[in-house]
Chain A
Amino acid sequence: MKTHILFLAAMLASLTFGSPVWAMETDECMECHTSADDVGEGNVIDGALFAQTSHAEEGCAGCHEVTDEHPDDMQSPTMSASCEDCHDVIAETYAASAHGENAVCTDCHNAHTALPPTSLSGLQMNESCQECHESADVEESHSRWLPEADVHIRSVPCISCHISSDKFVITLYVTQRQDNRAYADYELVNYQQLQQHVGDQSVTSLVDLDQSGDVSLDELSSFYSDNDEKGLRLWAMMTPEEVDHNIQTLDNRWDCTYCHAAGPDSMGNSFVAFPTVDGTYQRVPLEKGATLDALFGTPDFYMVGSTRSKILSIVGLLILLGGLAMPIGHGTLRFLTRKNRRKEH
């Protein structure tokens, strides 16, 4: 009984704190397959990244089969499972989509690095699309019908419009001018660059100053006032929370008001995403509605129509009503005193 309890405790600890989570036999594979010198570039696995994928739980043997003599027998491993064996619903959805005939799973995904969108930047989400779809072609085809196509392409990953998932959030990524040069383009910063700004503190402390695990409006405001001279800003993207594989041009996305009216319900939810040492992203939630605040929210995000500020709308209305003061006020007195002017004539 005592052994059982110890075993369960060890399991729990490994699930909670353990960094690489994979089946035990996988350790053996990783002894060689993390070194390009041992197995060649094509067979190297990034262990830390693989450990973050849900595939790690299956371990290497979940998909690959090798002989007992591997690698001495010089035989290539065979596949013991295909993607469809586990992802049958996704495979069926994908096969029926407009994209189904154009690419197989492995054309877009590497099972050893496949992560959910919540662990990726918007640019990483686009990487597999860009394998086939040249950026210039994408911009050209979208410009034919989409106003501000370049802004949309920079702010919305392809899958936000080309899959039927409808749960979106606003994710803010830290950007910096290239090499911190004046007037250079802003680009996403990586973990090492971010580390230089925060020293020995966690990278999230750049925005989450009190390290409370969420970013308040005050902290967001402080980030902008403290980091302007360092060339740091936040770049917002509308990212999907889940990905289904119904890849197509969805009819409702032709209608701008799908996003630009009230917007999907979750649009008020936003996160600041920070790069991690292995190149993925960790998210820290932002105070609800903080990105939408007129004065202290992020100045770099605005979705016309859907993220308008209520306060500014009220001020605008008052200004417009002010324009009626002269016609109504003066006009009323003019009407009441009309006899005085008639007398003069």
Chain B
Amino acid sequence: MDVQERIYLTPTPIRIWHWLNALGIVTLCVTGAQIRFPEYVNIFGTYKAAIRLHHTAGIVVALSFALWLFYYVVIARMMVKLYVPTTKDLTSGVINQALYYFFYFFTGTKSNPHEESPTNKFNPMQKGAYVVVMMILVPLVIMTGIVLMNLEPLREVLVLFGGVRVVVGLHFLLACALGAFVPTHFYLATLGHTPFAHFKPMWTGWEDHSDH
């Protein structure tokens, strides 16, 4: 018989951030699609409504990112521990984790080499992916978005970037990369010991650990 153990995996500020972020990013993707392709997408009635909503969602995501950063860096002081891959992660951890996901998971011959805990939430592959997403993609998409929302006041920054066309292109491609991360993120979340095992702690904070 399985022994069920409950651990408090996701603190409240992180859950608030996560769902604000999720709602914000979905809104940004849909409004962004209307802004770029107004002939084909018209969900929000008018173009202006899509722009206003895009701006609002962008501000919400930027603020929630700041909340996330503040919580992990200043309050929990766990940013480096949780997110930055260690040397061991990079040398053997990533390979073992990749072997599990792309081989042993299918053969069913080995279990997940990573054991979640509040101080070690992410496996080496997750750490790598989140460092890229949260430390590069999200800040860059926020920065380019802020520049595009304030073209006149931030004209110097615009010139520094190389002009409005360059900033728009960067913002669009970065947004596509983040958009591409959403289905991958959603799918990987179903790879727990049950398909919904990883969804529950993001809502309640608690995860049931199954000890086989």
Contacts and interface: CB of A to CB of B under 8 A. Distances in A.
A141 to B, nearest CB: 16
A74 interface: no
A1 interface: no
A323 B182 contact: yes
Closest 9 CB pairs of A and B: A299-B163, A323-B180, A340-B108, A327-B187, A256-B47, A316-B176, A337-B106, A319-B176, A150-B152
B136 interface: no
A13 interface: no
Contact of B186 (A147, A316, A317, A327): A327
Given A320-B180, A334-B105, A257 B186 contact: no
A6 interface: no
B36 A313 contact: yes
Interface in B27-45: 35-39
Contacts of A333: 106
A261 B38 contact: yes
Given A320-B180, A326-B188, A327-B186, A147 B39 contact: no
Interface stretch (A45-53, A64-72, A194-202, A302-310): A302-310
B55 to A, nearest CB: 8
B119 interface: no
A331 B187 contact: yes
Contacts of A230: none
A154 interface: yes
Interface string A129-145: 00000000000000001
Contacts of A300: 163-165
A284 B151 CA distance: 28
Contacts of A337: 106-108
Given A305-B38, A323-B179, A154 B163 contact: no
B52 interface: yes
- Size bracket, chain B contacts: 35 or more
A334 B133 CA distance: 25
B24 to A, nearest CB: 18
Contact of A260 (B47, B183, B188): B47
Contacts of B105: 334, 341
A261 B181 CA distance: 28
Interface in A143-180: 145, 147-148, 150-151, 154
A256 B51 contact: yes
A320 B102 CA distance: 21
B183 A183 contact: no
A260 B41 CA distance: 13
Given A294-B169, A320-B176, A323-B183, A151 B151 contact: yes
28 contacts: A147-B48, A151-B152, A233-B163, A256-B48, A257-B47, A261-B39, A304-B35, A305-B35, A305-B38, A312-B172, A312-B173, A316-B176, A319-B177, A319-B179, A320-B180, A321-B180, A324-B180, A327-B186, A330-B187, A333-B106, A334-B105, A337-B107, A337-B108, A340-B108, A340-B109, A341-B108, A343-B108, A345-B212
Interface of B: 35-39, 46-48, 51-52, 55, 101-102, 105-109, 151-152, 155-156, 159, 162-166, 168-169, 172-173, 175-177, 179-184, 186-188, 212
B165 A319 contact: no
Contacts of A229: none
Interface string A222-259: 00000000000100000000000000000000011100
Contacts of A313: 36-37
Nearest to B34: A305
Given A300-B164, A320-B176, 13 more contacts: A186-B155, A256-B48, A260-B38, A301-B165, A302-B164, A313-B36, A321-B180, A322-B180, A323-B184, A326-B188, A327-B186, A330-B102, A337-B106
Given A316-B173, A319-B180, A301 B152 contact: no
